[in-house]
Chains A and B, each alone.
Chain A
Amino acid sequence: MEFLIGFEGKDFVFLASDTSAARSIVMFKQDQDKMTPLGKNTMMAMCGEAGDVSQFSEYIQKNLQLYKIRNGYELSTKGMMNFTRKALAEALRKNPYHVHTLMAGCDSTDGCSLYYLDYLSSSVKVPFAAHGYGAYFVLSLLDRWHKPDLTKDEAMILLKKCMAELKKRFIVTLPAMMVRIVDKNGIHTMPPLLEKDYVTMDTVQDGEPDRSIVRPLIL
């Protein structure tokens, strides 16, 4: 029931993740941060098997930090992505990590990029992507509305559109979304996206039903 979404805009990349940590029928917390910073300008969002997510994301983060300390500079986003992919691939036929990842970064040399990695360690650079059941609902929306040169405000509206769709059609509610933007200046945390921020966008309203559709019983 976890959900990750990311898409590119003009010189930035948007990453949003849901904030629920739950097992079976129990919700542990509603403010779980599923994103890990990998460097000054690169960030990774990960969901999946509980222990694998924390173990693997920390492993990647610390190894990339070691690289930076050893060499005095960070790996590029592409390098970080390939390192992650290779770690997943090597573990795949021994002790696989069941994690879904989105990696976003802005390099001075390669510009901004978003990478989609799945638990079988396939990886691809994409303009937009999503993980989880929610992906089935939002990918078509992104197909329709995404443009490569979105501004930050337009990106936020697009995210709200996606969340409104999920609110309407997805069986599980996603009460809050953690939202972050990566650009050449670094990683910026936006205020969390709550239901009230997008619920007015043609979704079912709470409160009085629309009585005008109810025909009177006796004419």
Chain B
Amino acid sequence: MSRRYDSRTTIFSPEGRLYQVEYAMEAIGHAGTCLGILANDGIVLAAEKRNVHKLLDDVFLSDKIYTLDDNIACSVAGITSDANVLVADLRRIAQRFKLSYQESIPVEQLVTNLCDIKQAYTQFGGLRPFGISVLYMGWDKHYGFQLYMSDPSGNYGGWKGTCIGNNSQAAISMLKQEYKEDETNLNDALKLAIKVLSKTLDTTKLTSERVEMATLTRQDDRTVITILNSATLTKLCNEYEEEKARLEAEKKAKEKATPSKAKK
């Protein structure tokens, strides 16, 4: 359609759209799913691992989830090389704040700072936008536990539960139905994350090789970020499978006991 308005990012189309930004979001729609859920006593980030090659050396425990500071971690979806650059930037921003104030950066300030950088690439310089969306989880003394999502346009929002990447819309509608505000604790959030991920990933069974998860909690007045190891993940996946099987069996038993009205 308006193809000649595509090549430069710094131009509006006649309909008032920024095509490069939209194409960047397209790119993210093909990337591995990441989802985040806010609980009363912590936050969960879960991500689909796409880099599962037999020959890959497992140096890093996690390749989608990164720690940014003592109190903030993030998960990225999109072009990995862009992600590396922006994660480095995020860490630098966090430490620069610490250099000035000797305190950990409040979560929203970190998000805002990065989003201003992302926005610059949509307005001037003639460079393409970054092809990543980021989910941030963090704790600060002003607003407690927080979950943010930022996209290539430089827009961000605070969320109780959200998803980016492949099949994110399906995941978000599932979260909308299943998430219970004020009643979700960390264990509920972990279970919900597994449930949503297994439905949105295109596999029959969820295993610890396909997924990574991290939690952020407060213990003894300190923020603790834990990247779950494969044993814990396997346990969670198995619990989910058992729960699923149990519900299936209950459903079947119910159907047997009360025959459906359609059969009449």
Option from A71, A72, A82, A109 in Cβ contact (under 8 Å) with B141: A109
Contact A71 B100 (CB under 8 A): no
Residues of A within 8 A of B100 (CB): 82-83, 86
Chain A residues 71 to 86 lying within 8 A of chain B, measured CB to CB, are 71-73, 75-76, 78-79, 82-83, 86
Contact B142 A75 (CB under 8 A): no
Q: How far is the CB of A78 from chain B (nearest CB, A)?
A: 6
For B92-109 the 0/1 string (1 means CB < 8 A from A) is 000000011111001011
For A56-68 the 0/1 string (1 means CB < 8 A from B) is 0000000000000
Contact B101 A73 (CB under 8 A): no
For A, the interface residue count at a CB cutoff of 8 angstroms equals 11
Contact B101 A71 (CB under 8 A): no
Residues of B within 8 A of A79 (CB): 101-103
For B104-147 the 0/1 string (1 means CB < 8 A from A) is 00101100000000000000000000000000000001100000
The answer for the CA separation of A83 and B101 in the assembled complex, in Å, is 5
Which A residue's beta carbon lies closest to that of B109?
A: A71
Which B residue's beta carbon lies closest to that of A81?
A: B102
Residues of B within 8 A of A73 (CB): 106, 142
Q: How far is the CB of B165 from chain A (nearest CB, A)?
A: 30
Residues of A within 8 A of B99 (CB): 86
Q: How far is the CB of A23 from chain B (nearest CB, A)?
A: 34
Residues of A within 8 A of B108 (CB): 71
Q: How far is the CB of B80 from chain A (nearest CB, A)?
A: 32
Which B residue's beta carbon lies closest to that of A80?
A: B101
Contact A82 B102 (CB under 8 A): yes
The answer for the CA separation of A9 and B213 in the assembled complex, in Å, is 48
Contact A71 B106 (CB under 8 A): yes
Residues of A within 8 A of B142 (CB): 72-73
Residues of B within 8 A of A86 (CB): 99-100
The answer for the CA separation of A76 and B108 in the assembled complex, in Å, is 17
The answer for the CA separation of A71 and B103 in the assembled complex, in Å, is 15
Which A residue's beta carbon lies closest to that of B141?
A: A109
The answer for the CA separation of A76 and B105 in the assembled complex, in Å, is 12
The answer for the CA separation of A111 and B99 in the assembled complex, in Å, is 22
Chain B residues 23 to 66 lying within 8 A of chain A, measured CB to CB, are none
Contact A76 B103 (CB under 8 A): yes
The answer for the CA separation of A76 and B104 in the assembled complex, in Å, is 11
Residues of B within 8 A of A109 (CB): 141
Q: How far is the CB of B211 from chain A (nearest CB, A)?
A: 35
The answer for the CA separation of A175 and B135 in the assembled complex, in Å, is 61
The answer for the CA separation of A72 and B109 in the assembled complex, in Å, is 11
Residues of B within 8 A of A76 (CB): 103
Residues of A within 8 A of B102 (CB): 78-79, 82
The answer for the CA separation of A83 and B98 in the assembled complex, in Å, is 10
Residues of B within 8 A of A75 (CB): 101, 103
Q: How far is the CB of A75 from chain B (nearest CB, A)?
A: 6
Besides A71-B106, A78-B102, 20 new A-B residue pairs in contact (Cβ under 8 A), listed by A number:
A71-B108, A71-B109, A72-B142, A73-B106, A73-B142, A75-B101, A75-B103, A78-B101, A78-B103, A79-B101, A79-B102, A79-B103, A82-B100, A82-B101, A82-B102, A82-B103, A83-B100, A83-B101, A86-B100, A109-B141
Interface residues of B (CB under 8 A from A): 99-103, 106, 108-109, 141-142
Interface residues of A (CB under 8 A from B): 71-73, 75-76, 78-79, 82-83, 86, 109
- A selection of 9 A-B contacts at a CB cut-off of 8 Å is A75-B101, A76-B103, A78-B101, A78-B102, A79-B101, A79-B102, A79-B103, A82-B102, A83-B100
